[in-house]
Structures are given as C-alpha cells and as structure tokens.
C-alpha cells in the first residue's frame, strides 16, 4: 500500500480517523508513530500527507493536507473478455496500477457464461481490486468500468460511439501478423483502445466484427500468455511506445 486512500465522507475539517486495514498498515507495516507523516490521497481528488495526531490499538487519527494532483491518466481504454472471477480481480488491480481510463468487460464465444453470474459481477463489487490498484500506483482516480454480457450489441451498437475519439484500435490475437508496435504506429498522446480476448482467444466472427470497427490484430509472438499476464504486459508495451515516440524536450 503506497497510498492511504480516503473517501470524501470520512474527512471532517481536514481530520480523519481510520480503522481496519488502513490503520493496521500504518501501525504495523509502516510502524509510524504520532507526529509522523504518511502519504494519503482523496478518492478522485488530490494527493498529500496525513500527519498522525492520534493512535490507539485499532485506530489512527490523521490531520490531512492535500496539495498535489494525481498523475495524468494515460489515454488508454481496455476491452476485456471476462476471465474467471478470481483472475478478474487480479487483472483489474493490475490494469488500474498500469493506468487505464475506461474498462469494458464483455462476453465472447469462449467466455464461460457462468462468469457473468459471479458475485463479483452480479453485485458490481469491483471496488476492492480497483482500490488495490490505485494504492499500488499512488493514484486516486477510479477508472470507469462497465459490464456487457452480449457481444454483438456491444461491438455493433455501443463501440462505434466509443471510438469517435479513439484513433488507435488494437486487437490482441494470436494469429495477428503484426507486432503491437507496428499496429499502434506513432502513439504520442492519441487515445488507444486495446481489446484482449479470453483464454482460448477470439473466434473468427469476433475478429471480423472488431476489424470492421477499424481494429488492427496483432500478436505477442509464438508464446500464448494467460490473461493475467497478457494485460499488464500489453499495457506496459503501450506505455513504453508512448515514451519512445514522444518528442524530445
């Protein structure tokens, strides 16, 4: 936990009293004492410091001073065919740590229908993995996340609207004949949207629907990666491509 995240309703007159996991982290992991400062951030707000004013066995009281804007969001969106629920939690935390603006969880031919009946999706219980990703990355801004249990309505009806300001459209596919660098071209600050399929990959019908929307299939090479490896690997490659194609100051 590199950042103690606070919720707006918790803070009164720049003071907050923490319990549970956050208080335990401050006392047992950071081994902080009264008078010490810890890094804090307001959810969807500024980052700053919290000076420890009170400590007990189960609570920590902080005087909060928020001064700094969170890091700039990479202009990257993620379309993800829903993996197994336990894997989805890891993937969401990793994706948020890498930095994504919007996450679209969609169905696909090789997605098990039972995945959409999981407690995680049925209860829209994404807060925990998303917060873990923010804490790791020292960020405060929650990405938008939405669930789309029908493939064709998403690709044919919703996706064209989403792509209006998104010129870089990338489809991860084992049979793609380009690398991600070739498919993405000169990224700079252009918005990119990355579609990653299920463990068994996209079927031909799905690939064709994406291609009709301007997506360029690309491959990571001969090795087929698990979804929870492919997501951070591809987001990291996009981040690197943005860095190496940026103009020199």
Per-residue confidence (pLDDT) for residue 248, from 0 to 100 = 57
- The reply to whether 177 and 82 lie within a common domain is yes
Whether 143 shows a pLDDT value over 60: the answer reads yes
On whether both 104 and 21 belong to a single domain, the answer is no
- Give the domain CATH number at 239: 3.40.1280.10
pLDDT in tens, 101-122: 999 999 999 999 999 999 999 9
CATH number of the domain within which 58 lies: 2.40.240.20
Last residue of a domain, one of 23, 47, 68: 68
Compute CA 150 distance to the chain's CA centroid, rounded to the nearest angstrom.
22
Per residue in 166-218, pLDDT (tens digit) is 999 999 998 888 999 999 887 778 899 999 999 888 999 999 999 999 999 99
Q: What are phi and psi of 12, to 5 degrees?
A: -130, 125
Q: Is the Cβ–Cβ distance between 61 and 38 less than 8 Å?
A: no
Q: 40 and 80: one domain?
A: no
124/97 same-domain check: yes
Q: Any idea how long the chain is?
A: 249
Average of per-residue pLDDT across 76-96: 95
pLDDT of res. 212: 95
- The verdict on 122 and 53 lying in the same domain is no
59 lies in the same domain as 95: no
Angstrom CA distances, 144 to 55, 92, 116, 130, 153, stand at 35, 12, 18, 10, 19
Number of domains in the chain: 2
List the domain range (segments joined by +) for residue 147. Answer: 76-245
- pLDDT for res 59: 95
Residue 174's φ and ψ, nearest 5 degrees, are -55, -25
In the listed set 47, 68, 89, which residue is the last one of a domain according to the structure?
Answer: 68
Percentage of the chain lying above the pLDDT 90 cut: 78
- Quick one: pLDDT at residue 176? 82
CB 86 within 8 A of CB 176: no
Q: What is the mean pLDDT of the chain?
A: 92
> How many other C-beta atoms can be found within 10 angstroms of the C-beta atom of residue 55?
17
The predicted model scores a pTM of 0.91
- Whether residues 48 and 96 share a domain: the answer is no
- The DSSP line for 82-106 is ---HHHHHHHHHHHHHH--SEEEEE
Let me know: does 64 contact 11? Beta carbons within 8 Å: yes
pLDDT tier for residue 223 given thresholds of 50, 70 and 90: confident
* Contact criterion met (CB below 8 Å) for 42 and 8: yes
Asked if residue 240 and residue 119 are part of one domain, the reply reads: yes
Which of 36, 68, 100 marks a domain boundary? 68
User: Mean pLDDT across the stretch 21-47?
Assistant: 95
What is the pLDDT at residue 247?
A: 59
Secondary element (H or E) of residue 230:
helix 227-245
In this predicted structure, the answer to whether residue 128 has a pLDDT above a threshold of 90 is: yes
Q: Is 248 helix (H, G, I), strand (E, B) or coil?
A: coil
Question: According to the model, what pLDDT value does residue 145 have?
Answer: 95
* Same-domain status, 62 and 171: no
Largest CA distance in the chain: 61
Let me know whether 145 and 218 are in one domain: yes
Same domain flag for 99 and 169:
yes
Residues 173 and 118 in one domain: yes
The secondary element (H helix, E strand) that includes residue 49 is strand 47-55
Q: How far is CA 227 from CA 24, 28, 94, 115, 181, in A?
A: 32, 34, 11, 15, 20
Q: What pLDDT is attached to residue 246?
A: 63
Other beta carbons less than 10 A from residue 204's beta carbon: 9
């Amino acid at each position: 936990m590199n950042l103690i995240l606070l919720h707006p309703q918790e803070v009164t007159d720049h003071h907050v009293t923490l319990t549970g996991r956050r208080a335990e982290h401050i006392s047992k992991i950071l081994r902080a004492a009264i008078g010490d400062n810890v890094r804090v951030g307001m959810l969807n707000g500024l980052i700053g410091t919290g000076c420890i004013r009170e400590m007990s066995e189960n609570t920590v009281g902080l005087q909060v001073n928020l001064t700094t804007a969170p890091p700039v969001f990479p202009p990257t969106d993620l379309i993800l065919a829903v993996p197994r629920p336990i894997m989805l939690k890891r993937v969401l935390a990793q994706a948020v740590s890498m930095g994504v603006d919007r996450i679209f969880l969609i169905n696909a031919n090789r997605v098990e229908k039972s995945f959409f009946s999981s407690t995680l999706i049925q209860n829209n219980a994404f807060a925990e993995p998303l917060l873990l990703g923010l804490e790791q990355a020292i960020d405060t801004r929650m990405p938008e996340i939405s669930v789309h249990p029908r493939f064709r309505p998403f690709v044919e009806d919703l996706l064209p609207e989403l792509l209006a300001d998104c010129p870089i459209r990338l489809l991860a596919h084992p049979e793609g004949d380009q690398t991600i660098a070739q498919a993405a071209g000169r990224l700079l600050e252009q918005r990119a949207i990355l579609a990653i399929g299920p463990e068994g990959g996209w079927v031909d019908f799905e690939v064709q629907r994406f291609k009709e929307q301007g997506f360029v299939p690309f491959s990571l090479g001969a090795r087929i990666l698990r979804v929870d490896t492919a997501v951070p690997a591809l987001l990291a490659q996009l981040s690197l491509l943005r860095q190496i194609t940026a103009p020199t100051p």
